[in-house]
Amino acid sequence: MQPCKVIIFGGTTEGRELARILADRGALVTVSVATELGAEMLGDISSEEEPGHFRTLVGRLNVEEMQGIIREFDICYDATHPYALEVTANLREACRKTGTQYIRVIRKEAERAESDIGQGDVLQSETAQDSGAVQQSETAQGSEAVQQSENAQDSEAVQQSETAQGSEAGQQSETAQGSEAVRQSETVRGSETVPKSESDQKSKAVQKPEDCQRSDFVILVRSAADAAAYLFGTKGNILLTTGSKELGAYAEIPRERMYVRVLPTHDSIAACEVAGIPHRNIIAMFGPFSQRMNEAMLEQYRISYLVTKEAGRNGGFEEKLQAAKRCGVKAIVIRRPEDSGVTVEEAAAMLRIP
């Protein structure tokens, strides 16, 4: 009987773990990643007992291309990044059209660090139309949670972070896998309000986020656009740790304020150049990073605001929050989209090897 043929989309930690498990169990595993860096991160996953049970496909695919590949497999596992909404939608459509079994692999809820981002009051805001400046929003008393965020990263690894040109930061780095203890933060419900904005002006506008949550040092938003709208009316340096895909959302913010931590790839650095980020403000490193490394960068570049995604433990999310808290930096967190699926362990258990 022929071994089961499966394809896994995503160079995430979950995708790599699942590929290793299934290959070791004798399945014929193909992993599709978007970039060469994603393939590099896979390393040698081939089964030692059954060599040749693993292969890698590299390149970004549209729906039609996905269909052409997926029809060759028994099962399609979607282990793409939790913010890669478009890729997930395309995979679902491709599997539907080819009649291929689709399984969504997600991160454990316990890794979302809810205790740190808190459940602060929800703020409602209006559109700012005032002479190119973002005026501010008023506090809403509702408790509706912010649930949605946009896809900002490519479908590669959750661990995306990226390397510092400042030598001081580089010298203080250590692996995020170290034994450093992360202190638990206490959620403080914010009571500050933001003044009401003016509207109905026809000058160039930056929209304030429709709603956000805040605690003592964390601001929760739905998207990169909402994060940019909040930051537009602030002062101080900003460290973006959300990759290079949505730099355009921050176009209204002065470039000299922006420090961008991206993957050490040509495409990422080129995207920063296109966005007008000064070379001295581009930090090209591969993460995830320890709390101490994050603290070093926040101090090195005198950061006032840290923008991150709710990427979970594998993406170094906790270490970023704790570093921001210790350094007195506001953390702007783009909430993870709501998702449903199975864990790596559950996905592996669903496969019956002949």
Other C-beta atoms within 10 Å of 122: how many?
Answer: 19
Q: What angle do CA 270, 271, 275 make, to 5 degrees?
A: 115
Which tokens in the block code for residue 312? Answer: 């979970």
As a whole number of Å, the CA-based R_g of the chain is 21
Residue 190's contacts (CB-CB under 8 Å, 6 or more residues apart) are: 120, 121, 214, 215, 216
Bridge partners of 175? Answer: 289
Largest distance between two CA atoms of the chain: 70
* pLDDT at residue 185, rounded to an integer: 36
208 phi, psi to nearest 5 deg: -75, 155
Which tokens in the block code for residue 213? Answer: 């949550």
- Do strands 330-334 and 218-221 pair parallel, antiparallel, or not at all (unpaired)? parallel
Structural domains for the chain: 5-106+339-350 (3.40.50.720), 111-334 (no CATH)
Other C-beta atoms within 10 Å of 263: how many?
Answer: 26
- Residue whose entry in the numeric block shows the structure tokens 């496969």: 351
d(CA 20, CA 38) in angstroms, rounded, equals 15
Residue type, 50: E
d(CA 50, CA 102) in angstroms, rounded, equals 25
* pLDDT at residue 134, rounded to an integer: 34
Can you give the pTM of this predicted structure?
A: 0.65
Per-residue pLDDT of the chain (354 residues; tens, 9 = 90+): 677 899 999 888 899 999 989 988 889 999 999 888 888 888 766 544 455 578 899 999 999 999 999 999 999 999 998 888 899 999 999 999 999 999 999 877 544 444 445 544 333 333 333 333 333 333 333 333 333 333 333 334 333 334 333 334 333 434 333 333 333 333 333 333 333 333 333 333 344 444 445 557 899 999 999 999 999 999 999 999 999 999 999 999 999 999 999 999 999 999 999 999 999 999 999 888 999 999 999 999 999 999 999 877 777 899 999 999 999 999 999 998 888 899 999 999 888 765
d(CA 119, CA 104) in angstroms, rounded, equals 27
